[in-house]
């Protein structure tokens, strides 16, 4: 049987959707982008995975709660959710199987910021970033120092690697390493040649990955999702910006970062100005997606500066995406491998969600979660039509898999 990359990916998408349904998670209808909607306050915008947590945070904000606390309440949801493998507990680990988390926050009313990077064993890193902001004279702590500070502030150490994330990591190890998985003495030694890098140029075929996943004890219902993670290492993250009725605005971003990253790698999420930026005179913005590209453009800060000079949220976000495209001379052959979504909130309540591509795969558009009295998921406005691909390309675009 031959399966095109697109068929294979669509199959994985359907598998993921079924898992979601089985998990009884409400999947809301996704509305069209509404960048010209009349501004309202209070207002919260977030990445799509923040959607389930908007209601409680919006009520808190509407009742006079602090804008940063409202944003932290949203991102706490994915951080606590072991099934969200892009953030907090259950986040996919680095190449050594260790979960390392990054986060930052900015409190508009007091013009303060806090950030943490490469934090192990502590789940609520967005809140930890706030602790750095409130209880140190610094802005950023990383690694062991951040972990020790967390314990001093009363955070619990815990193992953030869930069994599902560990098995997915093992699948990635076996699919990508010469020395993990069956050796020459193993009765299944021939498996190493079926679609190994030596025989097909580096694209682990679906059949081999399914066999490896079964061998690792990944339940059949979870195999498609695990294979998806191996073939397309996610950069999932959650950002939230919150605007109070009185105009106070704050934002925060938290992530487990790029799956299978080198230990010590920091993405954009803990970088003030890249993963999140808030200026009480202008608004707040944040990012999810290709962290390396976003760091180079200092995306959230650049968006706010664009708005300060008079651009709308939509114009400000699209300008940054165009500038990233310009870094690659506009060549879609290379740009297909990077994808970024920006969540943009102006101080008056105007907002926009913009992304480089329509979605990570056909039928699953990038979204922005919004609550301004009504809670909804909207499609982002994208610079390019179509689905992005993943870097490094473990599956060659357009290549058949057997």
Q: How far is the CB of 255 from ligand GLY (least distance, A)?
A: 5
Rounded to an integer, what distance in angstroms lies between the CA atom of residue 148 and that of residue 146? 6
**x/- track of binding to ligand GLY for residues 276-315 (CB under 6 A):** ------------xx-x------------------------
Stretch in the footprint of ligand GLY (CB under 6 A) among 70-78, 154-162, 253-261, 342-350: 253-261
Catalytic annotation, residues: 237
* Residue 294 CB, nearest approach to ligand GLY (Å): 7
The only residue of 49, 168, 254, 255 in contact with ligand GLY, by rule CB under 6 A: 255
Query: Do 127 and 120 form a contact (C-beta atoms < 8 A)?
Result: no
Q: Does 388 bind ligand GLY (CB under 6 A)?
A: no
Residue placing its CB nearer to ligand GLY in the complex, 268 or 361: 268
- Strand-pairing partners, residue 277, are 285
Find the shortest distance in angstroms from Cβ 100 to ligand GLY.
Answer: 10
3-state secondary structure 50-117: HHHHHHHHHHHHHCCCCHHHHHHHHHHHHHHCCCCCCCCCCCCCCCCCCCCEEEEEEECCCCEEEEEE
Coil, strand, or helix at residue 378? strand
Q: Interface with ligand GLY includes 235 (CB under 6 A)?
A: yes
DSSP state of 3: B
The single residue listed with the structure tokens 């913005």 is 285
Contact yes or no for 370/308 (Cβ under 8 A): no
Q: Are 165 and 85 in contact (CB under 8 A)?
A: yes
Under rule CB under 6 A, residue 251 binds ligand GLY: no
Closer Cβ to ligand GLY, 288 or 381, answer by number: 288
Q: How far is the CB of 235 from ligand GLY (least distance, A)?
A: 4
DSSP count for the chain of H helices, then E strands? 13, 16
Cβ 257 to ligand GLY, closest distance in Å?
Answer: 4
- How big is the chain by its Cα radius of gyration, in Å? 21
For position 250 contacting ligand GLY by CB under 6 A, the verdict is no
Q: 244 or 369, CB closer to ligand GLY?
A: 369
257 belongs to the binding site for ligand GLY (CB under 6 A)? yes
Q: How far apart are CA 269 and CA 9, in angstroms?
A: 27
Judged by CB under 6 A, does residue 49 bind ligand GLY? Answer: no
- For residues 259-278, which are near ligand GLY according to CB under 6 A? 267-269
CA distance linking residue 373 with residue 274, whole number of Å: 29
Q: How many residues bind ligand GLY (CB under 6 A)?
A: 11
64 HSE (CA, 13 A, CB side): 0
Is residue 67 part of the contact set for ligand GLY (CB under 6 A)?
Answer: no
Question: Considering beta carbons, is residue 267 or 283 the nearer one to ligand GLY?
Answer: 267
242 close to 68: Cβ distance less than 8 angstroms: yes
Least distance from C-beta 332 to ligand GLY, angstroms? 21
Residue with tokens 């190493």: 192
Binding region for ligand GLY (CB under 6 A): 235, 237, 255, 257-258, 267-269, 288-289, 291
């Amino acid at each position: 049987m031959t399966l095109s990359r697109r068929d294979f990916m669509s199959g994985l998408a359907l598998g993921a959707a079924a898992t979601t349904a089985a998990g009884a998670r409400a999947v809301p209808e996704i509305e069209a982008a509404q960048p010209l909607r009349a501004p309202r306050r209070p207002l919260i915008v977030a990445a799509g995975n923040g959607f389930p947590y908007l209601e409680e945070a919006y009520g808190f904000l509407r009742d006079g709660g602090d804008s940063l606390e409202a944003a932290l309440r949203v991102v706490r949801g994915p951080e606590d959710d072991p099934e969200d493998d892009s953030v907090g507990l259950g986040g996919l680990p680095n190449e050594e199987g260790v979960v390392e988390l990054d986060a930052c926050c900015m409190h508009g009313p007091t013009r303060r910021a806090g950030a943490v990077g490469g934090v192990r064993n502590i789940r609520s890193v967005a809140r930890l970033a706030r602790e750095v902001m409130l209880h140190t004279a610094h802005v950023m702590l990383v690694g062991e120092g951040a972990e020790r500070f967390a314990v001093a502030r009363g955070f619990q150490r815990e193992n953030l690697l869930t069994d599902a994330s560990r098995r997915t990591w093992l699948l990635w190890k076996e699919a990508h390493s010469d020395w993990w998985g069956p050796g020459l003495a193993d009765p299944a030694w021939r498996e190493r040649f079926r679609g190994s890098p030596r025989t097909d140029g580096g694209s682990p075929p679906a059949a081999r990955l399914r066999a490896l996943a079964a061998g690792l004890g990944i339940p059949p219902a979870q195999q498609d999702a695990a294979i998806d993670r191996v073939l397309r290492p996610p950069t999932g993250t959650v950002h939230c910006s919150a605007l109070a009725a009185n105009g106070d605005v704050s934002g925060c971003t938290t992530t487990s970062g790029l799956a299978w990253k080198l230990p010590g790698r920091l993405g954009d999420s803990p970088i003030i100005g890249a993963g999140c930026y808030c200026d009480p005179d202008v608004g707040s913005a944040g990012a999810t997606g290709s962290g390396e590209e976003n760091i180079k453009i200092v995306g959230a800060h650049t968006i706010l500066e664009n708005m300060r000079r008079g651009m709308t949220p939509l114009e400000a976000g699209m300008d940054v995406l165009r500038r990233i495209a310009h870094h690659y001379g506009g060549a879609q052959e290379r740009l297909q491998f990077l994808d970024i979504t920006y969540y943009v909130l102006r101080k008056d309540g105007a907002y926009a969600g913009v992304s480089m591509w329509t979605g990570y795969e056909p039928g699953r558009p990038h979204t922005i979660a919004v609550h301004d009295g009504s809670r909804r998921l909207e499609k982002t406005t994208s610079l390019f039509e179509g689905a992005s691909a993943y870097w490094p390309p473990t599956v060659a675009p357009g290549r058949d898999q057997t």
